[in-house]
């Protein structure tokens, strides 16, 4: 299973009253997870798997928001 590190830009908003000139720039985010599915438009990562192979904590990131992407080498598991 492929493990990925993805840096991406997320939307940002402001709350309450603010001056017309105020600007909230996009937030730079980092996600690490197992590649579950990839399409032309998005990448889906899953972060946690239990012993019954059920998944928890997933995120779908639009490719248009991705600024950097790196494959993380899988660690070798040593069985005793």
Q: What is the pLDDT of residues 27-73, one digit of tens each?
A: 999 999 999 999 999 999 999 989 998 999 999 999 999 999 999 99
Model pLDDT, residue 43 = 98
CATH code: domain 3-12+28-72 is 2.30.30
74 CB burial (10 A radius; 0-12, 13-18, 19+): exposed
**Position 76 pLDDT exceeds 90:** no
Between CA 19 and CA 16 the distance in angstroms is: 10
> In this structure, what token pair is assigned to residue 13?
């908003």
DSSP 17-80: ---TT---PPEEEEEEEEEEEE-SSEEEEEEEE-TTS-EEEEEEEEGGGEEEEEEEPPPPPPP-
Q: Where are the domains of the chain?
A: 3-12+28-72
The pTM for the full model equals 0.81
């Amino acid at each position: 299973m492929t493990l990925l590190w993805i840096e991406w830009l997320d939307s940002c908003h402001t709350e309450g009253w603010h001056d017309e000139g105020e600007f909230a720039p996009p937030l730079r985010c980092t996600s690490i997870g197992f590649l579950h599915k990839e399409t032309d438009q998005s990448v889906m990562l899953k972060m946690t798997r239990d012993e019954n192979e059920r998944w928890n904590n997933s995120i779908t990131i639009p490719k248009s928001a991705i600024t950097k992407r790196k494959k993380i080498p899988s660690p070798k598991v040593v069985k005793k």
